[in-house]
Structure 1
Amino acid sequence: MPIFDFKQVDVFASEPLKGNPLAVVIAADGLADDRMAAFARWTNLSETIFLLRPTTPRADYRVRIFTPRGELPFAGHPTLGACAVWLAGGGRPRGETIVQECPLGLITLRRDGSRVAFAAPPLERSGPVEADLLPRIAAGLGLASGEIRDAQWVDNGPGWLAVLLDTRRRVLDLRPDPAILGDLKVGVVAPWDPAVDGEQAQFEVRAFVPGLGVPEDPVTGSLNAGVAQWLIGSGRAPGSYVASQGTALSRAGRVHVERSGPDIWVGGEVVTCVEGTVTL
């Protein structure tokens, strides 16, 4: 059976065990789809990725992203983890930026000091969440309907919608009902109050994805990308801010958001926790 180089990295954290883990199988060209899916089920992480040669000369590398239940066209923390692993393995971008190929298309990345960052892709679905869906969302999150200040589709591939609450404390106190949420992919965000919460971040985020077999994702790049486009575009957030995520899971994820010209960049630290080989 073939043997592949393998890493497990922690994304959106400056120290191991505080971010969102990601399994990375390197140079996985030739590995069959069913073996990729089987390995993703076996790792049981929110995402497992496979680094591959690109199929277009415009890309530096290609990635396929699997959850325990299937393949995703795009996801944020796998995108940052893939880029960090590719660079650490000696990858050299063809231009000033790094270009990743994935089923959604081409994603632009850049080095950002000790972090890597990706340019938020265009939203595939935006606008207000339908009024008849809001009662289900509120019930699934254990909220009174009046506690939802706003709700928007922020879907850049995975299917995200996001709801805005008043306080960080209310976000952290949520105890969602997976049976009610079902296949919805729901992000929840609220601003930090500096007087109460401190100044390490400006927003608190949680991500609930029971339909993917992951009741809560620790730190979520794709969701934060969509939320940033919504919050900055509506004037609710400044052009540069830090989002905290994973607090309810005893993590310390930090997502760095910055608007530069027409682009919104979403970045974070990536640290290696496991390195070796895997037999598939």
Structure 2
Amino acid sequence: MTSNSMRSRPFHQVDVFSGEPYKGNPLAVVVDAEGLSSQAMQGFANWTNLSETTFLLPATHPDADYKVRIFTGSEEFPFAGHPTLGSAHTWLEAGGVPKTDGVLVQECGAGLVRVKHDAGRLAFAAPPLTRFGPVGEEVRAQLMAGLQLADGALLDASWLVNGPRWIGVLLGSADDVLAIEPDLAALGELNVGVIGPHKEGAGVDFEVRTFFPGDAMIEDPVTGSFNAGAAQWLIGSGRAPREYVAAQGTVLGRAGRIHVRAEGDDIWIGGESTTCIQGTVVL
């Protein structure tokens, strides 16, 4: 995009998965992205230096309310969790009216994703897993080394691919999850989410941490896509109840809360969103 074709566009920066501003996972949202090339979107997403930036567009599918494109600093994702909730929050805040009262239909690279109001917060229906099943011995050994786990600490590990190529790792307790000091170089190119149960009375049911590669391996504050895959895995195997709350971002000074609820064949992943910055950008 050349400078003489650039224009002012509405812009929001939203904190997702926390009721307390600046304690969740930030998302940049360009509200009107019509006319932007993929190259321009990728360049702006790289510039924001956030884990994801989204671009709202008119729907092209007749059943969708709006379309979203989701970019990290280096690539486009077909789906991601906190960008879905933050984009839905922003679309509504910008005056969007869904075709069906109480339910938004988001069009993205992974297809159509339903988003609804659930107990005062937005929640998305977990998309189907496109790869699911135990990891092989070589990957399991890499996980043990990368997470620096003692023998017997890793209870299970499974592919949980729903756009991002997550691997879920189950540990025995939330304390075990919080104590991890990963060897990020040893994790290599793996997208790893670690989850373990809290003791009864803790106020939350599970503790989550996620690690993924970029220019360098980093820990994500709160991750909707991983929690969606983990919920399908753990509820489906009877390791988690049909409704629970997970905490994430604790070691980073955040207070992410992911609300999970299974209803029929759907698993809904919910969280609160707050707009922290609102204005315009020139793109």
Of 133, 143, 160 in structure 1, the residue corresponding to residue 139 of structure 2 is 133
Of 208, 211, 223 in structure 1, the residue corresponding to residue 211 of structure 2 is 208
1:90, distance to aligned residue in structure 2 (A)? 1.3
Of 18, 21, 31 in structure 2, the residue corresponding to residue 16 of structure 1 is 21
1:239 aligns with 2:242: yes
Q: Which runs of 5+ in 1 are unaligned?
A: none
**Letter of the aligned partner of 1:123 in structure 2?**
L
Map 1:39-188 → 2, pairs under 5 A: 39-96=44-101, 97-188=103-194
What TM-score does the superposition give when structure 2 sets the normalisation length? 0.95
Contact 1:68 1:213 (C-alpha < 8 Å) held by counterparts: no
Contact 1:163 1:188 (C-alpha < 8 Å) held by counterparts: yes
Distance in 2 (alpha carbons) for counterparts of 1:210 and 1:139:
16
Give 2:3's aligned residue: none
Give 2:223's aligned residue: 220
Aligned to 1:222, what secondary structure does the other structure show? Answer: helix
Contact 2:184 2:217 (C-alpha < 8 Å) held by counterparts: no
Distance in 2 (alpha carbons) for counterparts of 1:163 and 1:112:
28
Aligned to 1:39, what secondary structure does the other structure show? Answer: helix
Structure 1 residues 33 and 213, CA gap change in structure 2 (3 angstroms): farther
Contact 1:185 1:211 (C-alpha < 8 Å) held by counterparts: no
1:257 aligns with 2:260: yes
1:133, distance to aligned residue in structure 2 (A)? 1.1
Structure 1 residues 58 and 35, CA gap change in structure 2 (3 angstroms): same
Taking only aligned residues, the RMSD between alpha carbons, in angstroms, comes to 1.1
Of 255, 273, 280 in structure 1, the residue corresponding to residue 276 of structure 2 is 273
**Letter of the aligned partner of 2:48 in structure 1?**
T
Count of residues in correspondence between the two structures: 277
1:142, distance to aligned residue in structure 2 (A)? 1.2
Identical aligned residues as a percent = 58
Distance in 1 (alpha carbons) for counterparts of 2:71 and 2:215:
10
Aligned to 1:84, what secondary structure does the other structure show? Answer: helix
Structure 1 residues 103 and 5, CA gap change in structure 2 (3 angstroms): same
Moved more, 113-122 or 241-250: 113-122
Distance in 1 (alpha carbons) for counterparts of 2:165 and 2:100:
31
Give 1:6's aligned residue: 11
Structure 1 residues 5 and 257, CA gap change in structure 2 (3 angstroms): same
Distance in 1 (alpha carbons) for counterparts of 2:62 and 2:248:
36
Distance in 2 (alpha carbons) for counterparts of 1:214 and 1:48:
19
1:112, distance to aligned residue in structure 2 (A)? 1.5
**Letter of the aligned partner of 2:132 in structure 1?**
S
Distance in 1 (alpha carbons) for counterparts of 2:85 and 2:64:
15
1:212, distance to aligned residue in structure 2 (A)? 6.3
Distance in 1 (alpha carbons) for counterparts of 2:222 and 2:49:
16
**Letter of the aligned partner of 1:83 in structure 2?**
A
Q: Which runs of 5+ in 2 are unaligned?
A: 1-5
What TM-score does the superposition give when structure 1 sets the normalisation length? 0.96
